[in-house]
A = this chain, B = another copy of it.
Amino acid sequence: MQLTALDGIGDVVAGDDIAQIIAASLGAIRLAAQDVVVVAQKIVSKAEGRRVDLAGVTPSPAALDLARTTGKDARLVELILGEASEVVRAVPGVLIVRHRLGLVMANAGIDQSNLSRDTPGEPVLLLPVDPDASARAIRNGLRAATGVAPAVVISDSFGRPWRLGSVNVAIGVAGLPALVDRRGEPDRYGRRLEATEVALADAVAAAAGLVMGEGAEGLPVVHMRGLGWQESDAGSAMLLRAAGQDLFR
């Protein structure tokens, strides 16, 4: 399996066509149908105009309360609550919510880094409105531009409850199955496998994160070749535990 971060993506602005940008940045890569293209959430959100200026946000009483608890900017908390269906944990420095998409994540995925210095105000970036739809649109755009429809995964960086450090997971998926159910398949000794629902799209996102980097050298699109996958249109939601089925104490 081979992973290649694409050069030359450059700054993405609202209205940009991510599929066109990717198609123009493939260089020597000739897309094949079993390829996977992993795209960082950040450029998808930028292209979709999901930037908000904190200067224009008025915090509600609930946001002011949670801002005091967490020590976060009340205007940012207002935006987080607007994206959230439930507050999961709020302690100093930490605000974890269930995003309206079902994702349990810090700050509803709202991001303040890697926004161009040229932007006036105090810009932050929200998640795409529907990342599965974004992934499908990029896939369709790549099909139109190149004649080939690789799987597309939109990745974002998540913390974990029991482990330190972030890893990338899949918040949008088109083409490949986000979850592969291997329960019932025989192991190499003919014994039935237990507990092997594999989070394929999350592992794809984590792998791509190794070559994306962050910070100054950020490379937001990764081409992956050599992963076997079977067509699926189920999207990313199958990765989400329903509220009440999580593994809390």
Contact = CB atoms under 8 A, between A and B. Distances in A.
Copy number in this complex? 2
A167 B89 contact: no
A6 interface: no
A114 B189 contact: yes
Interface in A191-247: 191-200, 202-204, 206-207, 209-211, 214-218, 226-227, 238-241, 246-247
B241 A214 contact: no
Interface residues of A, number: 72
Contacts of A210: 1, 200, 203-204, 207, 227
Contacts of A190: 117
Interface in A159-193: 159-169, 178-180, 182, 185-193
Nearest to A116: B189
A205 to B, nearest CB: 8
A187 B168 CA distance: 17
A182 B112 contact: no
9 contacts: A88-B249, A157-B198, A159-B247, A164-B199, A165-B178, A165-B239, A166-B197, A167-B198, A188-B217
Given A106-B195, A185-B214, A188-B215, 12 more contacts: A2-B3, A115-B189, A117-B190, A117-B191, A162-B246, A165-B180, A165-B197, A165-B199, A167-B202, A187-B216, A198-B214, A203-B210
